[in-house]
Amino acid sequence: TARLARWLGNWLQCNVQWVRFRHRAILCVIHKLLLWVWVSCVLYFKSRPSVVSLTVSSLRFTSFLRIGKHSLNN
């Protein structure tokens, strides 16, 4: 993240919003960067439907395996 901050320079400061909570925790929200990453992922997976189906099926299988491990331990 430090390398990313150096690369973005002043552009990063213009797109950061600091959110302060009651318990004094501070959240840094980088709006445009997160939006750009999200849009890039959507466009990537829309152009490659086979990758999406493979990813979704592998995620379902690995989550199924995790559920099975937890139920065996209890």
Ranges of each domain in the chain = 2-73
Asked whether 17 and 26 are in contact (CB, 8 A), the reply is: no
- Decide: pTM greater than 0.75: no
- Would you state the pLDDT for residue 72? 47
What is the per-residue pLDDT across 7-55, written as a single tens digit (0 to 9) for each? 666 555 555 666 666 665 555 666 667 777 878 877 877 777 665 555 5
Find the Cα–Cα–Cα–Cα dihedral 35, 36, 40, 46, rounded to 10°.
40
Provide φ and ψ at 70, rounded to 5°. Answer: -65, -40
CA separation for the pair 45, 40 (Å, rounded) = 9
